[in-house]
Amino acid sequence: MSIPLPVRIQAAVVRGAYALPEGVRRAIAGAPVVRDGQTLALDAQLILKLQRLSKAALVLPGGVGPSRTAMEYGRHLVGGPTIGSVAVRELKIPSESASGDGELAATLYSPAGLGERSGLLVFFHGGGWVVGSRASHDHVARFLAQRAGVRVLSVEYRLAPEHAYPAAADDALAALDFALAKAGDLGADPARIAVGGDSAGGNLAAVAAQRAVRRGGPAPVFQLLLYPATDASVRRPSRDLFADGYFLTSADMDWFADRYAPEPVDRADPGVSPLRAADLTGLPPAYVGTAGYDPLRDEGEAYAEALRAAGVAVELSRQPDLIHGYANYIGIGHRFREATAEAAEALRKALR
């Protein structure tokens, strides 16, 4: 995809802003923001200010089409230079549930120097089940692959509203099954397959892990859940605390849910809201990363606590000074990259 000139100019402005002395960055961002006992990181506050100035938003007035386009170009603004020491191979995943030719597109990322029978992460991108793609999260997949020293299989699952629930959830399980069955062909060890994603992708990863474990047979050995959506049936305090002003808004969440799980879908169904599952025992260990300034914060942390209560080993890590989607901002400042590196290290340890 060629990058339009306006996007290139915006990217240069963002890079220039983050190269300024700290005092100048603080002057642009404004006075420190303290909420719920947390101080927003300057890196996060500055990007929020730049987004407001440029009228950037997750959901744009034109609806699905413009919002998808904005997400695709967003990584050029905040994702940083492409990590070149990662080989890329395009794949097709057979899926009986997939429309069209019955296949899902996927990209396999392999870090330089990685031997055969490595660990592998099956990764699902965020975007509210409506926007986002492998391309929009290419920098995230490359970063996780390189930092964790594992292969990453990034999956192009079907998006709503064209394909509402359970299409994406079915695709997630099909992709996980493919990785488990074809691990050798992917250069991976079938005993070291993890599942993960960010935001809506974290939701799909949690749902796929639950379904794989409950049916019996092959299942992932680890879950990497970054600020996951886990319960669309309950409104928790963080939803109101951070309803507006921190990029992902409460209104955005309603818009995404209305397209992914419209009536008569029961949003308390564990396929939509994995926190509502009656039984969480036997699930693989998990790393759950949440952001302090995120309307999804409380439901992500509630899922981590529910897993612990069910006897599942969980590392819950709140990044109190960051916003939703922090893994997408690894190309600017240092806090976003630092937080995402922590998640990658958890993955590395789990699959080494």
- Give the separation between CA 198 and CA 216, rounded to whole angstroms: 26
The candidate with the shortest Cα–Cα distance to 208, out of 110, 305, 71, 93, is 93
What is the signed CA dihedral for 167, 168, 170, 171, rounded to 10 degrees?
Answer: 120
Which residue from 339, 338, 285, 336 is spatially nearest to 315, judged by alpha carbons?
285
Helices (H), the chain: 5-18, 22-29, 42-54, 64-78, 138-148, 167-181, 200-215, 237-241, 250-260, 297-309, 335-351
Task: Name the β-bridge partners of 109.
Answer: 88, 152
Active site residues: 199, 294, 324
Closest CA to 169 of 65, 277, 241, 70: 277
